[in-house]
């Protein structure tokens, strides 16, 4: 009998996903205690299981060495930076993964952050609650120039939505999506041109050795003073210390982050700034996205492939949506 383990806490407490998974498999182990599993505790939880649904848990070579029975890992969510794909491939462990299942959830959060920053909504809300009635002069999202860094599933979806606002959309990606650009009127540009030209910059990249700190001090200082920076993809893409300096000095108008290099964030000075808004990694946490991710993970227990081939597919359609 196939034994399934679900490490994800949100999947484990979702009644619809639990019911649908148990309808397919008789032997399912859920993370009912809501444990944050890693290292030895993760190995202990997965011990003796043939297949697993994982989310933010780190699956590396040492973990796989301790789990000889594990044959399939199905990903709940789209980010794969917590999984060592090379180690999985070398040990013959298969990967179930579907890209783009939470793209609309992330895209809408980006738009919500952009409008909130442009209209000073968090500051105005706080002031009214404190008894201050003061009108703030803001800007409209419509007709702004928006730069999308990373044009995978989320980047493409965001680009389509922004066109409905009449925005000029610039895109930068290491891959050539010329048919998509042609169909949508989105302009492909280099990273430096995008940073210098955009009123709003939104990041949609995976985190790896090529993207870590891609917005370092040099690149951040290319942005316009009136510009906004939004990161709803992965922490570690931006030098957060330099970002804090620029937001406090007026060298950048505002920023909205759903993700951080360390979560929860340790830089409370950044979080407390009036021109900085944050959410706790909820980009993919709409009701609709949770169901879509969960059902994709269930399907991935039977529909899987070699991790090396999956990784190749990711490189041809990069995606950085949240888990």
Q: Is position 263 annotated as part of the catalytic site?
A: yes
Spatial CA neighbour of 22 closest among 32, 35, 34:
32
Strand partners for 187: 170
Catalytic residue among 9, 139, 219, 234: 234
Residue 176 CB contacts under 8 Å (≥ 6 apart), including other chains: 188
Helix axis angle for 103-118 and 121-129, nearest 10°, is: 60
CB atoms within 10 A of CB 248: 14
**DSSP secondary structure, 8-40, as one string:** -HHHHT-HHHHHHHHHH-SEEEE-TT-----HH
Backbone angles phi, psi at 109, to 5 degrees: -65, -40
Q: Which of 131, 114, 106 is nearest to 165 (CA)?
A: 114
Phi, psi of 104 (to 5 degrees): -70, -35
Say if strands 187-188 and 94-96 run parallel, antiparallel, or are unpaired.
unpaired
263, 287, 302, 309: the catalytic one is 263
51, 172, 219, 281: the catalytic one is: 281
Q: Has 153 been annotated as catalytic?
A: no
Residues 6+ apart with CB under 8 A from 271: 265, 278
Q: How many CA atoms lie within 13 A of 167 on its CB side?
A: 28
Q: How far apart are CA 231 and CA 23, in angstroms?
A: 38
For residues 240 and 267, the answer to whether their CB atoms sit within 8 Å is yes
Task: Please indicate whether residue 14 is annotated as part of the active site.
Answer: no
Pair 163, 169: CB distance under 8 Å: yes
Active site residues: 234, 263, 281
């Amino acid at each position: 009998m196939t034994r399934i383990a679900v490490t994800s806490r949100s999947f484990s407490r979702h009644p619809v996903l639990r019911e649908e998974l148990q309808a397919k498999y008789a032997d399912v182990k859920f993370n009912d205690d809501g444990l944050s599993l890693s290292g030895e505790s993760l190995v202990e939880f997965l011990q003796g299981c043939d297949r697993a649904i994982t989310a933010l848990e780190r699956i590396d070579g040492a973990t796989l060495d301790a789990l000889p029975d594990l044959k399939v890992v199905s990903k709940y969510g789209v980010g794969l930076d917590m999984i060592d794909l090379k180690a999985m491939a070398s040990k013959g462990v298969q990967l179930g993964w579907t890209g783009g299942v939470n793209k609309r959830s992330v895209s809408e959060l980006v738009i919500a952050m952009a409008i909130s920053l442009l209209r000073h909504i968090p500051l105005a809300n706080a002031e009214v609650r404190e008894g201050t009635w003061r009108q703030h002069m803001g800007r409209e999202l419509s007709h702004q120039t928006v730069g999308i860094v990373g044009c995978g599933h989320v980047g493409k979806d965001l680009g389509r939505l922004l066109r409905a606002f009449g925005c000029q959309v610039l895109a930068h990606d290491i891959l050539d999506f010329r048919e998509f650009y042609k169909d949508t009127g989105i302009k492909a540009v280099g990273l430096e041109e995008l940073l210098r030209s955009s009123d709003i910059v939104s990041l949609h990249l995976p985190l790896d050795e090529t993207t870590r700190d891609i917005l370092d001090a040099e690149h951040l200082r290319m942005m316009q003073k009136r510009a906004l920076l939004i990161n709803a993809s992965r922490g570690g893409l931006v030098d957060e210390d330099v970002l804090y300096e620029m937001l406090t000095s007026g060298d950048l108008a505002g920023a909205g982050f759903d993700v951080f290099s360390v979560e929860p964030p340790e830089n409370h000075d950044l979080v407390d700034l009036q021109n900085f808004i944050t959410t706790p990694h909820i980009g993919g946490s709409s009701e609709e996205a949770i169901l879509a991710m969960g059902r994709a993970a269930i399907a991935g227990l039977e529909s899987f492939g070699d991790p090396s081939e999956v990784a190749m597919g990711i490189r041809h359609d990069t995606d950085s949506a949240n888990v």
